[in-house]
């Protein structure tokens, strides 16, 4: 068992999947460490859902291997400690929310008390809807229930395929808090979301897919790179320009590489007669980086 708990939550190697003539996934490898939140990003049709389904053994890959929590995903036991929220799902409309949870717990072959099921519904804001039929639930409520299903059996790995697509901003904030609490409990999470801001806020690492291939991957710091400093300045003379070094300018907004000593730079500028209206650290957002990466990802794979 020791080896099993030490192993990464996910180890996926050279996954490949073709549907008829279309190559959906073309040699994708990645790992998710214990307690890590990995964001899966990429345009529609990039292969994100296919990767997730192959990973969970729901779709057979043409090539590649996956280990989940230390076991090959072909081993039926590998799924025991994995929670999954599928991208498209519908629950039996005649069941109540609590019955849906109980059914999935039974299918997972785990024991969960009534109390834990109640807490599970509470966690996603459905505490007072436990005995309501799912058929009357809005899409957002069904998505919340899907999250409860994914989390109810105390998983060590949680896989969420677009968990917030039907949620309002408040619901999204709830999911964000939920993800952060999973992270604190060292539960590993694979999150596929097109809400890049959300990914940026909660993910430790990001994997960007494009046309079935990995276009980029890394920690947010690695992907977003060096920070810069933005200054709003007037009365900038030639001498002040040389103090700034190389900069980009848009009207009175100057962007320079982050200096080692910000106060010293500001003091220097002031000494040269520059009027300093604002100084703020800046960094490309993940959205800007993503668009950049997708724009420059080699054409030959198109």
The tokens of 175 are what?
């999911």
Q: Which is nearer to Mg ion, 48 or 172 (CB)?
A: 48
Site for Mg ion in 30-59 (CB under 5 A): 48-49
Please classify residue 114 by burial: count the beta carbons closer than 10 Å to its beta carbon, then call 0-12 exposed, 13-18 middle and 19+ buried: exposed
Torsion angle of alpha carbons 262, 268, 273, 279, nearest 10°?
A: 0
C-alpha 86/C-alpha 234 separation (Å) is 54
Assess 193 for contact with Mg ion (CB under 5 A): no
Using CB under 6 A, which of 9, 48, 129, 265 touches ligand ADP? 48
Least distance CB 285 / Mg ion (angstroms) = 23
C-alpha 31/C-alpha 13 separation (Å) is 9
Assess 217 for contact with Mg ion (CB under 5 A): no
Binding mask 2-41 for ligand ADP (x = CB under 6 A): -----------------x--x-x-----------------
Binding residues for ligand ADP, rule CB under 6 A, total: 11
Binding mask 65-94 for Mg ion (x = CB under 5 A): ----------------------x-------
Q: Which is nearer to Mg ion, 78 or 192 (CB)?
A: 192
Running DSSP on this structure, what letter comes out for residue 134? G
Using CB under 6 A, which of 12, 50, 144, 155 touches ligand ADP? 50
Rg (the chain; Cα; Å): 24
Assess 45 for contact with ligand ADP (CB under 6 A): yes
Half-sphere exposure of 276 (CA within 13 A, CB side): 20
Angle at 26 between CA 19 and CA 67, to 5 degrees: 100
Span from 47-55, 76-84, 121-129, 198-206 in contact with ligand ADP (CB under 6 A): 47-55
Please classify residue 246 by burial: count the beta carbons closer than 10 Å to its beta carbon, then call 0-12 exposed, 13-18 middle and 19+ buried: exposed
Angle at 61 between CA 55 and CA 65, to 5 degrees: 60
Using CB under 6 A, which of 12, 26, 28, 49 touches ligand ADP? 49
Using CB under 6 A, which of 8, 39, 47, 61 touches ligand ADP? 47
Q: Which is nearer to ligand ADP, 47 or 64 (CB)?
A: 47
Least distance CB 301 / ligand ADP (angstroms) = 13
Assess 42 for contact with ligand ADP (CB under 6 A): yes
Half-sphere exposure of 163 (CA within 13 A, CB side): 31
Q: Which is nearer to ligand ADP, 52 or 141 (CB)?
A: 52
Q: Which is nearer to Mg ion, 15 or 256 (CB)?
A: 15
Query: Which contacts of 270-274 are long-range, i.e. CB under 8 A and separated by 24 or more positions?
Result: 272/237, 272/239, 272/240, 272/243, 273/235, 273/237, 273/240, 274/233, 274/234, 274/235, 274/236, 274/237, 274/240
Assess 44 for contact with ligand ADP (CB under 6 A): yes
Site for Mg ion, rule CB under 5 A: 48-49, 87
Instruction: List residues near ligand ADP by CB under 6 A.
Output: 19, 22, 24, 42, 44-50
């Amino acid at each position: 068992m020791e080896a099993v708990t030490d192993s990464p939550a996910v180890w996926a190697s050279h996954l490949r999947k073709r549907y008829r003539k279309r190559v959906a996934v073309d040699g994708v490898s990645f790992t998710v460490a214990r307690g890590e939140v990995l964001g899966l990003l990429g345009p529609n049709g990039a292969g994100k859902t296919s990767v997730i389904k192959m990973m969970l053994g729901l779709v057979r890959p043409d090539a590649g291997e996956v280990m989940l929590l230390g076991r090959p995903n072909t081993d039926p036991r590998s799924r025991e400690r994995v929670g999954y929220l599928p991208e498209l799902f519908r629950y039996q409309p005649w069941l109540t929310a609590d019955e849906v949870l109980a059914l999935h717990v039974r299918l997972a072959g785990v024991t969960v008390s009534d109390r834990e099921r109640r807490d599970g519904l509470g966690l996603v804001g459905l505490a007072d809807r436990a005995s309501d039929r799912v058929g009357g639930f809005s899409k957002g409520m069904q998505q919340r229930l899907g999250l409860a299903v994914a989390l109810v059996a105390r998983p060590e790995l949680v896989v969420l395929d677009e968990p917030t697509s039907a949620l309002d901003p408040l619901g999204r904030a709830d999911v964000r808090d939920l993800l952060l609490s999973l992270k604190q409990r060292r539960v590993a999470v694979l999150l596929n979301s097109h809400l890049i801001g959300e990914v940026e806020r909660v993910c430790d690492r990001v994997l960007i897919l494009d046309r079935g291939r990995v276009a980029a991957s890394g920690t947010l710091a690695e992907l977003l790179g060096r920070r810069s400093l933005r200054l709003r300045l007037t009365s900038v003379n030639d001498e002040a320009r040389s103090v700034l070094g190389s900069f980009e300018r848009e009207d009175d907004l100057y962007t320079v590489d982050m200096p080692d000593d910000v106060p010293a730079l500001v003091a220097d500028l002031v000494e040269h007669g520059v009027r300093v209206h604002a100084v703020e650290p800046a960094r490309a957002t993940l959205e800007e980086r993503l668009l950049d990466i997708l724009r420059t990802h080699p054409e030959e794979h198109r």
